[in-house]
Structure 1
């Protein structure tokens, strides 16, 4: 009987490595299989339990440590991971906040609300005023609202001031200082230091978005316009606080002017100063506020803080309720356009010409959708992408589906472009809008290259060949072409705005030229139709579609749906089993740290201007740097 030849040492090594790789592969696949099996079982177990019912005399603790947004910029998995660590979401949606407050207003088990908004972030005052109106409605239903904070920014304080009582930590502060808008200017650094020449082409003396790249200071026109709209927002802020706190706007303004003397007189005690100015009703620690709520409500030794309560995220799940079967009622679709407007497909938190247009087209093709609300919270961006989205608005109207636009904190420049053909435009008086104008910005680098000993030379078959080569100086002929291109874009903007707003291009030009307005100022000038928030816009859209009274139709947000795995994973980590597994997991924490959205750089506009579409001589932008 013959024996198989023995393997040599090299062959044995190769076989050993191969067997080891197979073992690792099978191990990984088995671990993955058991993980997914555990995931499914956990979701089934947790889903079967449902939400625990609320007891009577429960306090809703509204304390998100997050930025208020119109639409999440992170995916469901990363949000669920954050919640499992007890960190809360990095973002909360305005629609969810309004839903929670409205549900609490009608919920007999909710006795009062504790507002902890001193850890929230806001991008403007329009959304705060919408939440404030919901808090006011809750108070009018007979439910008490108590606000507490360790310290309040101006935006946080405006929201907290809607409470029946406002308490401040004895070491805290509330400093009302006014509004300002300062920017960095880069001309000297770019041109003199680095040798980069920035060439600006624009229409409108008030179109100041690109000034930092070609000036060392703000232009007189920019200062004039910025002070005009900021002054209007600030006067409305003072009027709101005065009304809520039972004082006068004049007194608040006088207190700000005498702030140094007032703080000195209070021996530097900013909390005492806030109490003296009647900005708060008392100075209490968090424990003292919790004891107060335990006395007024229902004490619960097992609950955090010692009183019966439900947190914002848990109550949002109550407000959402269990999954329902298909709802046959006609729909008002809401499409959110939040963030910069960019070409192509973009993730949530940015407005993509293709992706946002696709959502509007989905609403147009859906027979159950009878009307559309476009919620805009955008400073603008690409003029081309804005036009792509505007065409879908026209398509909806051609399909006999009314379109109503609701402005958020800002809907300016390209944000106005995508809105101007709607049947009606709603804005809060403190919304920032207008900035009807466009610009093109081209950097050229020959002097910068010369500084490092690099020179450009060559040949071309015509005078214009290679004219847009950024390594060469920009010729006057090229500047002439670009300016004509920008002029046409501006004419298109005001002409289409005139058509959408039933005005002449000359009338639009008078209030355009890049000038920024508040919502109230825009209404006076015919750029906005009516004051109101998202709920007013939805009701208007339903009325235009003749859907009848509330209850006979429903609202559906049209947006990218979570994948089945994202839903499965979110359900797992929100349950008790998933939280117990993930809470102390270093692996899960590393996943979270890579998924949390990061802050955008202020100078991203330079990247945009260098990304032209095929055949375009310059990237034309309808952008406004006009946030609070």
Structure 2
């Protein structure tokens, strides 16, 4: 007779079966809800039409991105947390380009108050679209309760700029401010073993210093000054003031504001930065006089850019041929394996490029790169697929967005043509290795590591043991070899002498304007320019082709990866704590160490300013 299981075994067995049953029920419900939700979101609801004589309300919401990262997994995750707010640059550009020649659209109304993070290079793409719209002779009007730096860059190209009486225009300039962790790591006993090559090695400084090195300070100042010069020239190009007037407004901001008793709106008006100070109801009334009323909105006759794109999709002329220009987006840190939200997986991107190469209808490939780099192994995987695509006879063109540096440049360099905006952040040709070891904290806890191996290399790479000199030699040699490979690839791809590449490499960051002068890119321009170049290289005329975005299939594995990548951290880290540790270097240390050889081409070159916080405060005051 079999022995009856113990009480504890029956108890835990029952708990496990209950958990398994609940999991199966939740999965079943989700499998039913997700398809229904997708159908309702995209295929239901009233048909949208474009009112005759209306205004296109062009309203970026959230952060600017190059492709929508809110896949099925993240739509599912929105059930449990607030969805990520973002606007796709390509959609914003397309809406203005379509409306330019649409007789039903009388003007563009730029509603800029909800624009979030925007990199300078991306903003320049949007400015180019605004300028193309204006060339049609149609007016552009901008409104926001206040303007931060990115918002004002867009508004400055409008014909009329409105500002709320309680608002302000605040342009703090660009800055690179980072947290430095050496002292904290020393107190914790964590050793960050760093291996690097080159003079400009600021990407590893947060882990080995308590401040910015003089070399990094000088290099950062150089490329940020280039970006700031471009910004001042851009906002003064269509306004009645000079770049020097912009500098004077900023340098005297506090004194002038005090002299005007804190009236920042009047200060902006007298400086010529805005045309009219008016509350939103007055702005709406002014718009009614120009385009008429819309009873449904209780405002002026209008259609927002998302509805406009949906309404005009079926009106677009079909291409005369079956030819395609394939579009592959590389956005976020480059990591080994498959892509998840906010990262570009080497395997995923390489597979999309290979699919485009094998597609007989694809005549050329357009890469949109918005990445600070990451894994050397993954970057090289992507570069090789690009080289194979060119060898197969299909032209490849790269369009750099906000940043295409380090690994982002690695994946770009073999293209037939590289396009970037003057304010694109690029270059950073350098490699580093990083291996954290935690033997000291473990020793403090009374946990000790010991053992035996068959060779001197056994156990060499364990993070619970200090790195030996043999291990250090292996890592340093690998990093130096990787750097030489990077420099050699750039020299071959850009038809430059290797010595010339080394003079501008070493991890140094460049603006797009400087990169063109140095030969690292071919031309200055945005996404539309690069798209047209990709078509021209394939001998395609306008109207002969369609743009074909390449996306990985949304199977159940993709769904799970998206859901976990977007929401696992939120489940264990409170929002307030996440904000405290929202540092680029620390975030990368948590999630970016994926390279099997511990070699990275990553640029911590995100520019920052105080404008986002100021804008958030402004929104709170106006609500």
TM-score using structure 2 length: 0.84
Deviation string, structure 1 residues 449-468 (Cα, Å, up to 9, x no partner): 22223333333443332222
Alignment match, 1:334: 327
Deviation at 1:54, TM superposition (A): 2.2
SS at match of 1:112: strand
Give the distance between the partners of 2:203 and 2:495, measured in 1 at CA. 28
Q: How does 1:607-618 map to 2 (within 5 A)?
A: 607=590, 611-613=594-596, 616=597
Deviation at 1:379, TM superposition (A): 0.1
| Equivalent position to 1:70, from 66, 72, 92 | 66
Deviation at 1:446, TM superposition (A): 2.2
Deviation at 1:110, TM superposition (A): 0.6
Deviation at 1:621, TM superposition (A): 0.5
Q: How does 1:357-396 map to 2 (within 5 A)?
A: 357-396=350-389
Deviation string, structure 1 residues 27-67 (Cα, Å, up to 9, x no partner): 999999998998899799948x6x34323211111123221
Give the distance between the partners of 1:76 and 1:32, measured in 2 at CA. 11
Q: How does 1:10-25 map to 2 (within 5 A)?
A: none
| Equivalent position to 1:297, from 291, 296, 317 | 291
Deviation at 1:348, TM superposition (A): 5.0
Alignment match, 1:604: 587
Give the distance between the partners of 1:446 and 1:34, measured in 2 at CA. 49
* Structure number, greater radius of gyration: 1
| Equivalent position to 1:420, from 413, 416, 438 | 413
Deviation string, structure 1 residues 86-119 (Cα, Å, up to 9, x no partner): x997211111111100111111011111111121
| Equivalent position to 1:175, from 170, 194, 214 | 170
Deviation at 1:510, TM superposition (A): 0.9
CA contact (8 A) 2:50 2:308 kept: no
Give the distance between the partners of 2:310 and 2:599, measured in 1 at CA. 44
TM-aligned CA distance change 1:390 to 1:114, over 3 Å:
same
Q: How does 1:208-357 map to 2 (within 5 A)?
A: 208-300=202-294, 302-321=295-314, 328-347=321-340, 349-357=342-350
Give the distance between the partners of 2:279 and 2:554, measured in 1 at CA. 41
SS at match of 1:514: coil
CA contact (8 A) 2:48 2:310 kept: no
Give the distance between the partners of 1:77 and 1:467, measured in 2 at CA. 39
CA contact (8 A) 2:431 2:600 kept: yes
Deviation string, structure 1 residues 235-262 (Cα, Å, up to 9, x no partner): 1111111112221111211222211111
Give the distance between the partners of 1:36 and 1:435, measured in 2 at CA. 42
Alignment match, 1:95: 90
What count of residue pairs does the alignment treat as equivalent?
566
Q: How does 1:43-122 map to 2 (within 5 A)?
A: 46=44, 51-75=47-71, 90-122=85-117
Deviation at 1:520, TM superposition (A): 0.7
CA contact (8 A) 1:179 1:230 kept: yes
| Equivalent position to 1:141, from 136, 159, 165 | 136
- Please tell me whether residue 486 in structure 1 is matched to residue 476 in structure 2: no
Alignment match, 2:153: 158
Alignment match, 2:514: 521
| Equivalent position to 2:551, from 559, 567, 583 | 559
Alignment match, 1:575: none
Deviation string, structure 1 residues 581-616 (Cα, Å, up to 9, x no partner): xxxxxxxxx9xx99xx99976323324575452xx4
- Please tell me whether residue 432 in structure 1 is matched to residue 425 in structure 2: yes
SS at match of 2:238: helix
TM-aligned CA distance change 1:325 to 1:40, over 3 Å:
farther
Deviation string, structure 1 residues 513-534 (Cα, Å, up to 9, x no partner): 0000000111111101110111
Q: More deviation in 506-515 or 38-47?
A: 38-47
CA RMSD of aligned residues (A): 3.3
Deviation string, structure 1 residues 195-241 (Cα, Å, up to 9, x no partner): 11111101112121111011111111111110000001001111111
Give the distance between the partners of 1:31 and 1:72, measured in 2 at CA. 25
TM-aligned CA distance change 1:609 to 1:299, over 3 Å:
closer
Q: More deviation in 428-437 or 505-514?
A: 505-514
Q: More deviation in 462-471 or 489-498?
A: 462-471
CA contact (8 A) 1:303 1:309 kept: no
